[in-house]
Structure 1
């Protein structure tokens, strides 16, 4: 292949879509182009496609900015295991992606410790148990712990026909996925134990691959294998978070990754479709489209997900100078984890926090507004407060 033509094709944005690339360069031999990529540009991964061939990706294309990792690595001063508001949004979004009806009120109720009273709340309770499980760093990723996570989160709430057989960690029959332009047949059930074992090995191996890309790859691979009859999407998103928690990304459970996925749901499914479509053309399972989707639509959107460094610095300075009481520190941590960037009223904070008099709440919001940590917003005759950014 002509070197100039190859260089133009390699730098073309359509490289993520081989069908479109072939239309733009009809004079090119796509087979020859892929062979050159395979020999010099694709980075092989120690995970296999259904034909036993290594998955690959283009590291020159899948480049994640340092700012994304910085947000997720930001230490949390809260003693909460996850951000309540963030995980409220996480649960709502992960259900919405799978078109499972639920309500914010029900999610808040279950996250506040109330017992489930119907099927929808059982599902929410399962997600709550899953989040608590992955937030405990002692629960390292293994085939057994993945099975335990599945049972806690999804398996216990499935109808009998979708239950796993006794002694089985994965499904015992074929599964076909059709919907939102994603058409896929899961891996043969007989091969699942071997492939899942290799995935767990990969998770614990030293790798030159960026942690955030590794998490996205795990996410892709669970959906690709489809190890269970139901709940594969939720498990893929939970394992994505779990890996980041295990790699000590302190804010992984204080940022609703699935909310960003839900906002770009079409691109999410299209990334799966492109990987499958490209593999049919090239014979190579290149996961770059999915990695790039996560880079552009999730990771690079995280910059505004947590309080700014200036806000954090202002709080730390006030704390070190003795301007903030222990109760006010606890209230501030609660505001960050329970509300995030969402507005709240003093009455709402009093009710949700549950361990401070109304006068203390009023004093807290006024002082923190003066410090520049909170800002007030007028809603008619009412005033709400929001973390300053």
Structure 2
């Protein structure tokens, strides 16, 4: 796919504007609006193909639209090439999405202690961290199946190849930023380098590249498409120390600084790591981990439950295109904001559907059991055993999946064994648990 066409320069458009008579100039400026007739915030590369208002060229229509966007723009301390600042427009789609997502978090079932127990929240959090670790790695080329990857993380076994190492590292990175957010650690260069070290160790061609910025004199890493076309040339490596300082300053939660919405801040940090590409490899995974860290330390607690990279993976070309529209439209990062906010909207909806499906499955399972006295964790084990009759359960696996102690995990499995739902067997030096052969009969058939 060719790169989007660069928007006409303001100087060239201004020269065309002054050729209009006074009445035409007034009409253009009066009618100028940042959105199209369907209330979409489109880039120049799409506007140029659409029919402009009668008597007006596509270029002058864009001029009015760009003027309206600049009128409600917010300039950022983050810079593109030539020290030109990035900026975004407080357009209605941005404001509406931020409000919608904030409301979704406030009203989310995971926040309702009367409907969701701490044990259930821990399990859903673990599920979210695992899913994000897998899908974020697949975005960067990991090709392990989701089933094998989940089993690796649940069982705590060592990764067997580079793809599994990427996933294990991502999971460790998600746990790391969760801990840093809990501890109130500052986003500084040392932490970002440490985060890259976690993400990249064991996956780099040269292990010494993990946890360091690219240096002047090295061949700069470019961003290429699937067809190996260069789609982005990051700034020179000798600018990286200053640019990283700008990123960490922007990440700071200074209460006296001008307010930036937590979602906007996190998305822009994600964008800047991708734009600057400061590392030899692992930039995308580091950017997405930094995104989660920023949200968590801002109090946006729902983020790690959301399957965000799942939706990025569904349309990676759109993910890349959102970056390209920013640079093509004179550093207007609104395009990337809207893309990411849409992804988050879809992730929130998917999480809601998943929660509803599990609630329905739990109700059905309780009816089939015909008795009480099962914990939520035990119900989850029985449900998993029904889905995978050959599955092996271990104490370590249940510790990881439910975020509980060894003794709690052991008690769950032992109790289900005593009640006839599981069978305990020795495997080497440890015990494993398998679904009982007559599990379906105990539940009243299929």
Q: TM-score, normalised by structure 1?
A: 0.75
Aligned to 1:298: 344
Q: Is residue 261–residue 298 contact of structure 1 (8 Å, CA) maintained in 2?
A: no
> Are residues 1:242 and 2:293 paired?
yes
Residue aligned with 1:126, SS: helix
Which of 250, 270, 281 does residue 230 from structure 1 map onto?
281
Which of 213, 221, 237 does residue 175 from structure 1 map onto?
221
Report the Cα distance in structure 1 between the residues aligned to 2:158 and 2:30, rounded to whole angstroms. 65
Deviation at 1:289, TM superposition (A): 1.1
Report the Cα distance in structure 1 between the residues aligned to 2:160 and 2:42, rounded to whole angstroms. 46
Aligned to 1:148: 194
Which of 145, 148, 152 does residue 103 from structure 1 map onto?
145
Provide Cα deviations, 1:74-115, integer angstroms capped at 9, x if missing partner.
448248497332223212211222222223213421343212
Taking only aligned residues, the RMSD between alpha carbons, in angstroms, comes to: 3.9
Q: Is residue 130–residue 153 contact of structure 1 (8 Å, CA) maintained in 2?
A: yes
Residue aligned with 2:287, SS: helix
Report the Cα distance in structure 2 between the residues aligned to 1:270 and 1:51, rounded to whole angstroms. 22
1:134-283 matches, cutoff 5 A: 134-136=177-179, 137-138=182-183, 139-160=185-206, 163=209, 169-172=212-215, 173=218, 174-180=220-226, 183-204=231-252, 205=254, 206-278=257-329
Aligned to 2:367: none
Change (3 A) 1:361 1:220: farther
- Single out whichever of 228-237 and 53-62 deviates more from structure 2: 53-62
Q: TM-score, normalised by structure 2?
A: 0.66
Q: Is residue 44–residue 62 contact of structure 2 (8 Å, CA) maintained in 1?
A: no
Residue aligned with 2:83, SS: coil
In structure 1, runs of 5+ residues without a counterpart are 279-283, 316-322, 366-380
Change (3 A) 1:303 1:119: closer
1:55-94 matches, cutoff 5 A: 55-60=86-91, 61-62=93-94, 63-72=96-105, 74-75=110-111, 77-78=118-119, 80=122, 83-94=125-136
Report the Cα distance in structure 2 between the residues aligned to 1:358 and 1:348, rounded to whole angstroms. 16
Aligned to 1:42: 73
Q: Is residue 212–residue 244 contact of structure 1 (8 Å, CA) maintained in 2?
A: yes
Residue aligned with 1:36, SS: helix
Deviation at 1:146, TM superposition (A): 0.6
Change (3 A) 1:344 1:234: same
* Higher relative contact order (CA closer than 8 Å, sequence separation 6+): 1
Q: Is residue 350–residue 361 contact of structure 1 (8 Å, CA) maintained in 2?
A: no
> Are residues 1:124 and 2:167 paired?
yes
Q: Is residue 140–residue 246 contact of structure 1 (8 Å, CA) maintained in 2?
A: no
Change (3 A) 1:157 1:170: same
Report the Cα distance in structure 2 between the residues aligned to 1:9 and 1:241, rounded to whole angstroms. 30
Provide Cα deviations, 1:161-209, integer angstroms capped at 9, x if missing partner.
8726xxx831113221110577000111111111111111111144433
In structure 2, runs of 5+ residues without a counterpart are 1-24, 112-116, 364-370, 399-408, 422-438
Deviation at 1:158, TM superposition (A): 0.9
Q: Is residue 182–residue 270 contact of structure 1 (8 Å, CA) maintained in 2?
A: no
Aligned to 1:370: none
- Following TM superposition, where does structure 1 have runs of at least 4 consecutive aligned residues deviating by more than 6 angstroms? none
Larger radius of gyration: 2
Report the Cα distance in structure 2 between the residues aligned to 1:133 and 1:15, rounded to whole angstroms. 36
Report the Cα distance in structure 2 between the residues aligned to 1:362 and 1:286, rounded to whole angstroms. 63
Provide Cα deviations, 1:115-163, integer angstroms capped at 9, x if missing partner.
2233333222222221221110224321100101111111453112872
- Single out whichever of 145-154 and 77-86 deviates more from structure 2: 77-86
Report the Cα distance in structure 2 between the residues aligned to 1:255 and 1:18, rounded to whole angstroms. 32
Aligned to 2:43: 17
Q: Is residue 222–residue 232 contact of structure 1 (8 Å, CA) maintained in 2?
A: yes
Aligned length: 348
- Single out whichever of 88-97 and 13-22 deviates more from structure 2: 13-22
Deviation at 1:52, TM superposition (A): 1.2
Residue aligned with 1:228, SS: coil
